[in-house]
Amino acid sequence: MLGNLRRKISIVLPASVIGVSDDLRVKTFRAGLIGRAAAIFMVDEVTIYLDDHSAESISNQKVFAKLLRYMVVPQYLRRIVFKKEEDLRFAGLLPPLKIPSHTVPSSLKHVSPGSFRLASIVKTMGGKVVLETGLEKRLTAPAPKSPLEAGEGSIVLIRVEDASRLSARIVDSAESPFYLGYRVSSPRATLGEFLRDVKAVKIGTSKYGEPAWQRLSKLKTILSKNEGVMIVFGSPSTGLREILAREKLRAGDVLDMLVNTVGEQGTETVRTEEALYITLPLITSLARGCLEA
């Protein structure tokens, strides 16, 4: 159950996280590490920004986003949502997330009235929609009021009304009693362009930032300013300060705080996926009130 600890947590990563190799296997493996970290710490949104406007960066962003989306869609919906594509050739290397929305019953006889699960709209018939739910038979539900929500292929959250009658209703994702996974966004924007328009607390990560373990009270105060918390990471080869400097920006122009969550590191660099596993436990625990400063 999510209770009162849930706040919107977003992570912001460069497309080059998977661009350290041209090998699609390596790209897939690295995306898998990111997806697992996002799910473990119940991240709500993963935003992938462009390192620059080059064709390579745009390509990496597309592949990265597709791999993350593939991971977060329940296995029983993947064949409907995703076609056979080159970008997903090594999708078998992606680790399963095993979040609650992926581990729902697969048989109608085990589905309780009032239970929640994700479904895909496969057909619209008059005022009803037909839903693929991974069960032996498809369910039906009243069509959503908004046409944008009723498009074929849309993934929606449903509440099962009566499994024996194959009836359900579509509900808002906020009604879910469990974590549904992360959303993926891929704006055609560089980091500075993207951050200027964000209305959230923005925490940047850098070895040049303030030591997080010495600034817990300050960090907690900043995190309390807004319901949305965004954690921003640099690239495998370039830190946040350098990335922003290319756009003639300083960290303070677009970030609320720049923190170092690693401390005295024994390696010359810390990989982005490693920084995620170090940073997310601290920031999410402070933001959700699980850790006292």
How many Å apart are CA 182 and CA 178, to the nearest integer?
A: 12
> What CATH number is attached to the domain comprising 217?
3.40.1280.10
Q: Give yes or no for a contact between 204 and 12, defined as CB atoms under 8 angstroms apart.
A: no
Q: Are residues 130 and 186 in the same domain?
A: no
CATH number of the domain that 146 lies in?
2.40.50.140
Q: What is the pLDDT of residue 4?
A: 38
Dist CA 67 CA 13 (whole Å)? 14
Residues 156 and 187 in one domain: no
- DSSP structural state of residue 94: S
Assigned domain for 293 exists: no
| In-domain check, residue 90 | yes
- Judged on CB neighbours under 10 Å (0-12, 13-18, 19+), 187 is middle
- Mean pLDDT on 11-31: 96
Q: Within a 10 A sphere around the Cβ of 284, how many other Cβ atoms? A: 22
Looking at residue 197, its pLDDT comes to 86
- 189 and 279 fall within a common domain: yes
Among the candidates 175, 199, 224, a domain finishes at 175
Other Cβ atoms less than 10 A from the Cβ of 123: the count is 12
- Whether residues 250 and 127 share a domain: the answer is no
177 — pLDDT class (breaks 50, 70, 90): very high
Burial 112-122 (b: 16+ CB within 10 A, else e): eeeebbbbbbe
In this structure, the answer to whether residues 127 and 151 fall within a common structural domain is: yes
Could you say which of 121, 151, 175 is where a domain stops?
Answer: 175
Q: pTM here?
A: 0.92
Q: Both 209 and 225 in a single domain?
A: yes
Same domain? For 196 and 262 the reply is: yes
Q: Are residues 278 and 142 in the same domain?
A: no
Q: Is there a domain that residue 145 lies in?
A: yes
Q: For residues 190 and 80, state if they share a domain.
A: yes
* One domain for residues 18 and 142: no
Domain membership of residue 118 as a residue range: 105-175
pLDDT exceeds cutoff 90 at 145: no
Residues 168 and 184 in one domain: no
- Apex 74 CA angle, 34 and 181, nearest 5: 50
Kindly state whether residue 59 falls inside one of the protein's structural domains.
yes
Number of domains in the chain: 2
Structure tokens at 211: 């030591």
Pair type for strands 155-162 and 116-125: antiparallel
Last residue of a domain, one of 175, 196, 217: 175
- The per-residue pLDDT for range 107-132, each reduced to its tens digit, is 999 999 999 999 999 998 888 999 99
Judged against a pLDDT cut of 80, whether residue 293 lies above it is answered with no
Residue 106 region by backbone torsions, left for phi larger than 0, else alpha for psi between -120 and 50, else beta = alpha
**Choice among 152-161, 247-256, 263-272 with the minimum mean pLDDT:** 263-272
Q: Are residues 74 and 187 in the same domain?
A: yes
Distant-in-sequence, close-in-space partners of 121: CB < 8 Å, separation ≥ 6: 129, 130, 131, 150, 151, 152, 153, 154, 156
Single out the residue of 205, 181, 177, 225 nearest to residue 273, CA to CA.
Answer: 205
On the question of pLDDT at 291 being above 60, the answer is: no
CA distance 284 to 40: 11
Locate 41 and state its tokens: 């710490």
